[in-house]
Amino acid sequence: MSLLTPDVPFGQPAFALSGDQIATVLDLVCRGAYKARADVTPGMLEVPTTIVVRKAMRRVKKALSLTNLQVRGEHELEDMATTDPTILGRIDITLQFLHQFGNEDAYVAIECKRVGAAQSSLNASYVSKGVDRFVTGQYAAGHEWGFMLGYVLALPVDEVVKAVDERIRKTYGEGAKLTPDAAHALSLAVLEGALAQNGGHAIKLKHIFVDMTPAA
């Protein structure tokens, strides 16, 4: 079922997302990851996996006639306050809804990381090189929502969630703990947590874990 939202601006500022738009992101991500799984080969690294997922998301978007948003490629962040050409970071996948068109700072950030049961280094990187980029404001500065997409390479997912949650609470405090959210039919788990961005603004992160174990 399509979760197409009305083609009208929603929310002030442009960083805001409606409940329907959040559901659309979740649905598109899960459908895209599910369709991409057959093309993900054992040992495939994060970047090529994300390219496959992003292409699948675009196919799903077209099939569902979602004309009120666009799926963008890797999004480069630049320091617009200086003439320094250094790239501050690259967000794996970004979306823009109609009310965000024309504003380069308004987007939906989706950061992708590999995780897995007994994969301690990958699970740690999910937080230190994923979640932390939202906390510092490197990604999605001032935004209401951000999204983390976890490619689960080894089950069970409960072990992955436990490891990620423990590291988040250890790093950012008990208030940052993950809360289970309604799972999508094509996800392994969906959770939510709130974090202080740059010590002030609160950003909500939705964590989506999808099955990327080798397809049978």
Tens-digit pLDDT profile for residues 49-61:
999 999 999 999 9
Confidence at residue 4, expressed as pLDDT on a 0 to 100 scale: 43
Backbone angles phi, psi at 205, to 5 degrees: -115, 130
Strand ordering across the sheet containing 69-72: 69-72, 93-97, 108-115, 145-152, 201-211, 189-197, 179-180
Confidence at residue 157, expressed as pLDDT on a 0 to 100 scale: 98
Average pLDDT over residues 91-114: 94
Average pLDDT over residues 111-138: 97
pLDDT at 81 over 50: no
Confidence at residue 199, expressed as pLDDT on a 0 to 100 scale: 63
Confidence at residue 90, expressed as pLDDT on a 0 to 100 scale: 81
pLDDT at 73 over 90: no
Confidence at residue 74, expressed as pLDDT on a 0 to 100 scale: 61
Average pLDDT, the chain: 88
Nearest to 76 by CA among 54, 104, 49, 100: 104
pLDDT at 82 over 50: no
pTM above 0.85, yes or no: yes
Confidence at residue 213, expressed as pLDDT on a 0 to 100 scale: 96
> What H or E segment, with its residue span, contains residue 150?
strand 145-152
Distance CA 202, CA 74 (A): 25
Average pLDDT over residues 133-148: 94
Backbone angles phi, psi at 80, to 5 degrees: -75, -10
How far apart, in Å, are the Cα atoms of 88 and each of 25, 31, 77, 91, 147?
A: 25, 30, 5, 10, 19
Three-class DSSP category at 76: strand
Give Cβ neighbours of residue 96 (< 8 Å, ≥ 6 apart): 69, 70, 72, 106, 107, 108
For 119-130, the pLDDT digits (tens) are 999 999 999 999
Q: Are 199 and 215 in contact (CB under 8 A)?
A: no
Confidence at residue 9, expressed as pLDDT on a 0 to 100 scale: 35
Average pLDDT over residues 161-188: 97
The alpha carbons of the chain give a radius of gyration, in whole angstroms, of: 16
The secondary structure of the chain in percent helix, strand, coil, rounded to multiples of 5, reads: 35, 25, 40
